[in-house]
Amino acid sequence: MKKIVILDYGSGNLRSAERAVARAGADVTVTADRDAALAADGLVVPGVGAFAACMAGLRSVHGDQIIGRRLAGGLPVLGICVGMQILFSKGIEHGVTTEGCDEWPGTVDRLNAPVVPHMGWNTVDAPEGSALFEGLRGERFYFVHSYAARSWDLESDPTGTIPAPLVTWAEHGDRFVAAVENGPLCATQFHPEKSGDAGAHLLRNWLATLD
């Protein structure tokens, strides 16, 4: 049974995420403890609310350093909702720019849609070869957000030695990044813990990648 830490930095549906990951078959701990987060087989970074508030909370427990340290060692991390957004270079909300973790280049900004927030079930367009979405073609997932990354700016490795990231898209007004699989770093803009059987299947898929 894989040992998973849900990073507690004062944001996110911690207990919902804990229950969902446990039901998927993992041994789950909710904590901000650095040693536990670094030792876990997988780290889940949830997030709800404003980008700036999430980054402030994350930095208060050195979560940005924990994420960076894990990824430097090839250790898996899964971001959820704003926990995905803070992995990008910056977020812009109400005219205020906040620096993110900068694991991926790009900006998180307001959705260009007639109705915001984007709240409810939506399909996604996953690429061939996706491990997260294996067996989930045509399924819907639950979104609650007003902001997203609406472009993908990370170029592929020209040498071909590093596999290109797999980017999943969704549409609400225009296209936005719904999920990313980039080596040990994965993330979803939607909430798998609120996405019923499809979300549970996705979490099991992620756990299966933690060799």
Task: For residues 29 and 7, give the distance between their C-alpha atoms in angstroms, rounded to a whole number.
Answer: 9
H helix and E strand count, the chain: 6, 13
Q: Alpha carbon of 111 to those of 89, 93, 202: distances in Å?
A: 17, 11, 25
DSSP single-letter state for residue 45: E
DSSP single-letter state for residue 194: G
Strand residue runs (E) in 11-165:
27-31, 42-45, 77-80, 88-93, 96-99, 104-110, 118-123, 140-145, 147-149
From the list 118, 145, 172, 191, the catalytic residue is 191
From the list 103, 172, 193, 201, the catalytic residue is 193
SS3 190: coil
From the list 81, 101, 181, 186, the catalytic residue is 81
191 catalytic? Reply is yes
Q: Do 4 and 31 touch, CB atoms closer than 8 A?
A: no
112: Cα separation from own chain's centroid: 21
Torsion 78-95-143-7 (CA) sign: positive
81 catalytic? Reply is yes
Q: Which residues are catalytic?
A: 81, 191, 193
